Structure 1
Amino acid sequence: MRKKKLSILLSGALLVVSMISYITVQGDLFNESDAYIQTENIMNDSYVGSYVRSGLDNNAPVYVSDITTYAEKVIPSIYPSDISSYKKARPSRNQNLYGTCWAFSSIGLAESDLITKGQRDSSVDLSELQLIHFTYNSVTDPLSGTKGDYSKYYNDNASNSYLNKGGNYEMAVRRLSQWSGVVNESDVPYSNASTVYNNGLDEKYAYGYDVAHLQNAYLINAKKQPDVVKQQIMEHGAVGTSYIHYDNAADYYNNSYYDWQGIVSDGGGHAIMIVGWDDDYSKDNFTTSSKPANNGAWLIRNSWGTYFDYFWMSYETYSLQDNVWVFDMSADDGLDNNYQLDGGLYTATIGYSKAANVFHVSKKDGVDSETLKSVSLSCTQTADVGYTIEIYTDITDTGNPASGTKHEEATTSGRTTYAGIYTIPLEHEVILNPDTYYAVVVTVDKGGFEIEYGYSESTNPGGTDDKMVWENAVSYWDNCEGSYYYNGYNFGKFYYNFRIKAFTSNNVELGDRLEGNTLSMDGKIDMNFYMNLPEKVVNDSGAYMEFTMPDGCVSKKMLSDARVTSDGLYVFSCGISPKQMSDVISARIISNGIKGNIYTYSVKQYAESVFNAADGVYSEEEINAVKAMLNYGAAAQQYFEYNTDNPANSIMSEADRVMDEVAFGTYKGKFVNSDKIEGIGYYGSSLVLQSDTALRNYFQLDTGYDIADYEFYEQQADGTKKIIQPQEADSSLYYIDIDNVKAYELGDNYNIYIKKKSDDATEMMVECGMFVYARYVYQYSDDEALKNLMKAMYHYNNAAIEYFYFFS
């Protein structure tokens, strides 16, 4: 048998918090007079197409932090593995008579992403025409945040239809980020393109029929980071790019394409999707007058129907644009409202380090309140941007975003990766009440702030017969809410609108009402919510209370498991681990799919109510128990390095935070017959400090023995056996838990018995306890934070004993 070993282990969840630093970004990089759309010259031997060049199509900033991560991942040499089946399942679309490749590729990216994630099957068909029409003929969003921003195409003044004018991925991603689409093809079919152009399209299709929302969009340099592009294709189904199609560079027999510098003036006239690759695709398959230097090609999905529908494009194709676009969609994000001020298509970067958008929460029929869940930032020209998002509600001065109540728990920091658009979940959701103003304040460490600006085209600029053809206007001062920049001293109104959005979900009034909170310290630390529930909720067998912790962990307690008080209140309990005593818990009732009001509370708030109560409301024993509990929580925070900036005991005096030293020498364990049970031996102990405090004991099984041949049990005070089922830790190590240890029992010892089922006469007994464990910590460990945690647990136990006997 292996020699017994006493190990000092401590179980518990860890949370790593990364800090960011800030630098000030100076200057104003925006000059509206420099803005223009660059188009391609049509060459006699080429099909330039209708992809309108964007300034974002080349030289995307390279994000380097994840390059090694991608390189370490297994990227196959060919993808997809069964190309024939792939093509059959996803036939290419047909843009037919019009120059709409940009829309077909953009919608194709959305479809591919949803299919790859399993949110839609391969039959999904989304509308290109809806995107095309509302890109050129916009509608104010449902919340009226984009009032004053509009796009209008003047058909009567134009010599060319907007169906042939073209567009690009940047224009598409702006409309999708505004939630103008995507919609099903059956709602706005492409076959109606001519009719829609001549007669218009019902405005209801602009926002009311969307079936998915854009979450994120990334720009990646394919020529500098091809492995990153491949990984994105595997994760999202496709990436979008463009090239110029030269007839003498295409081999229609082999479905291959390669153009070279000698015949290409520039790139980017036709939008396509890259859906796969073959690193070994032979360069000899390109039967052009010049051949690539190396093997390898991208698998391209086109939008010309069955004509050149899928084809192979050499990695070395000269006209292929540097950048590719990645669309990250969601068919069910649980969001109802998009608060935004930017309804325009064109974007510039501003060199401020701090900015804000102020939004108005309108009254909505049947909606009691809204939950602010996430924020969108646009950084399409900058990679690796460090950000901090702050939320202020109940703004008293709409000209000062910081004039409201700051929600510290919602402050969210992080970094972007690639250049692009990001939807960032807040660290903590925030309730927004109707007819109030709130602000999203963002600080960045690079010049990543982006604004919208206007653009127009006319028939004869400056001439007397000048007529508007294409107008993309943006608002300035006409909305009460607006965009603000921070100059180092205060906020000032900005001329243009920042591309900062906020997303909320509606809370429908269920009729539930929180009557109060209590804290339980019997066995485990429970936060209790006392709910007054209407009959319609009580009669719903599937109703439950959902608890959300700041780390995003969600749990629920069914209505059927709630305790009912004598006066008909339903008590829902959420367990708290010692390190979580400063955490604010969010709780809400969910019944028949309807989400009720969100209620928040924390152990720390409960403690404050105890300390601030009038004399005589709480006994000295109660107050001391709460103080000891907070010291215990703060010590756990330090040991686990969790939320250390907000220690549980920070609301106490310095004197109350000081704990007397403890001598654990009197707490001793014992072994009986430890070597007389064949095949198994005691290995060590640990503490599990979750909501349920448990003593975990490990046993090691020798090779050739079966854990099922042994019985484990605890001898209880009344003489009965409590059978305990061992759990496997690894192939030879098993553990059993002494769980639900009450706060006033932390100093007790427990007797664990192990016997071989085939031998009733011989039992091994291990006497152990929390403070036996603590004795070995003090004797063998150099970890001062762990020792301090054991000391805090000791004082918590003593205070709990006094509290228990005072009320018993």
Structure 2
Amino acid sequence: MNVRKRILSVIAAAAMLGSACFSAGVPLDTFTAPAAISASAADNGVLSWTESENGVTINGFVDGVTMTSLEIPDTLGGKPVVAIGLTAFREKTELESVVIPKGVTMIGAQAFKGCSRLKHVELPDGLVQISSSAFRNCAALLEIKVPESVTDIQSKALGYQESDPISGFTIYGKAGTAAETYVKDENDKNGKNNFTFIDTGNSREKGTLSIRDTYPTVYCLGNEIPLPDDTQIETTNVGAERTCTWYRGRSTDGMSEQIESPDAAGDYTLLVQVAETDAYTAAEALVDVHVQEHQFVEGICQVCGGYEDGIGARLAGNSLSLNGNIGVNFYMELDDGVLADSGAYLLFTYANGTTKKVLVQEARVDTQTAAGKTYYVFPCEVAAKEMTDTILAQMHLSDGRTGKRYAYTVKQYADYLLEHTEEQPAYEKAAPLVRAMLNYGAYAQLNFQHSQTTLANANFSESEKSVEQVTAQTLEAYRNQTVQQSDFVKLEGASLSLDSQTTLRLYFSCQGDAAIEDLRFFWGEQALTPQKSGNFYCVELSDIAAKNLGTAYTVRVTCGEASLDVQYSAMAYGYHVLQRDVSATRTQALKDTIAAMYLYYQAAKDYFA
């Protein structure tokens, strides 16, 4: 089965049947549980510690506990945490991030030695000593900011894998402090500049800033590239100014050609720059990014999440509208840009060239059809004779851009439903109504001589097409049995309009001395405005649902204090058509259409019972 058709059909069934909850058949994203437990270090039973007069020394995790992200609390047992003990977290290979609280003045020897995945460490202001091999064999830790308060960094405390310095290891700190001295001494000791020192202070005492990148960051061809989400800019304050510029190449020599959006798949380098201001020292970093071709599935790229139409709109599915008028609902997924455009609209184009606009702001929001996913529903009504006509739908933005053009027909959905009744109980239940609807549409095509080469019931058997069983006697029960005349008004007749809305028109004449200006017409609480039609005045009862075609609606006509209630139904009109002989205006095609409409009405009553 075509996957897209299956997904659309399930959406359609739920919308047509008014279901409040269903699965659209789209699998959840793959979820991989973390390898280690994530918990609060403040929780009882997570950390082991010892107490002294000065405070608490952390000795590590309790047996059996591992964490990927550790934020050590500043107090335990009611006392301040002042030290990380000897070998406290040695060889904890699951550990990736550590935040050490203010109040800690000493990190013991080998405290984090062998934490091979540790890549982010925050040291507190007030820290004084980083003991020997404290962060040795932490290969993923490529940079660290050392507070000005640190006065003692012991042998191989930072930046070593076994006895070898980690090339490119960077220490951020203030010039003239132990941080700069450690970098200088270690470079002199090893005879090369393996370590980098970046001064975070100057005479104006600006805020400090560091940029860390993660490779690979994947983007798709042709997208405008923002600052990658996984590039972390850290500052001592908020509000750093940032600009992002794309360059081809991997080295400074290859940065001559600037581009905003890559036009070829491959590896690129993003130069992230932070401008120098009164609050910040200028900084920059290179972020490596891999760009590949889009991988569209159901109109959405599986890599970057972008929409295939390029403007942020996608057709998720269709449904039939059968509660009221015959029509197709278009279920659209829209991104934030489209939703924010107050002038955005979906343009429907009918087979005869006429168009209809539905503003995005006027679309019905549906969050129930697929596990809370938001769809925007745009209705497009059609006349019975137009069930095989192709409806075009295209999203338009106020800046003139347009999205993908989608084509659909009532028959296309109906045929799919009838072909798959065994797969969905809802389809099986709806099948008699859909067959009656298609049959009604085909007879309307013949009556109005519209698209007669592609009839809606073309694949029905002759017995399924037949409407001979419906006669005037069948509709006898729908004859109007109320008084239709008074001394001021008379009901002269009725007609049906079978356009996109089923509309019952009632025709009146004034009696006695009454004039049309003296008369008032009401349908329930709704006031009706009569329109001149030949020698009579016509009022319309519009938007009659299929299941209500046999309902006798009451129109009250008043003239001063006097009133007359006239009852009439669409099927009452049908009776008068069927019980009279064929004529130039009452053709056999019209009689067949009325008969098919009656069968459609009966099927709707059964379906919605």
Normalising by structure 1, we get a TM-score of: 0.35
TM-score by length of 2: 0.46
Whose RCO is larger (CA < 8 A, sep 6+)?
Answer: 1
